Amino acid sequence: MSIEIISVIPQSPETWQVDWLEKVYDRQGHLTEPPFKMRALLRVYNKPTTQSTTEEQIRNNPLGIYIQDFSWSKQT
C-alpha cells in the first residue's frame, strides 16, 4: 500500500481535513485495484510540556500535538 497526501486544510482551529490517494499492491508490486481517494477529519489538541513531561515524551512528540478524535471515509 502507498498513500499520497493531496491536501491538508484547516476547518477550524482544532479540526483539519486531510485528503489522500491510496494505492494497494499485491506482493509482486502490481496494483490490485484502481487508486482511490480518501478523506479524514482530525480533531487535534496541543498539550504543552510541564515539569512532569519526560525526555522520552518530548522526543516522541516534540510539538505536543495529539489527535483527539478522527473519522475517515472513501470518496466516490
> Over 90: is that where the pLDDT of 1 sits?
yes
pLDDT of residue 76: 87
Residue 26 in grid coordinates: 499485491
| pTM for this prediction | 0.82
Q: How far apart are CA 38 and CA 41, in angstroms?
A: 11
- Give the count of domains, the chain: 1
CA–CA separation, 17 and 25 (whole Å):
26
Tens of pLDDT, residue by residue over 44-76, are 999 999 999 999 999 999 999 999 999 999 998
Mean confidence (pLDDT) of the chain = 97
- Domain with 48 in it: what CATH number? 3.10.450.230
Predicted confidence (pLDDT) per residue in 6-30, tens digit: 999 999 999 999 999 999 999 999 9
**CA 43 → CA 39, 47, 61, distances in Å?**
13, 13, 17
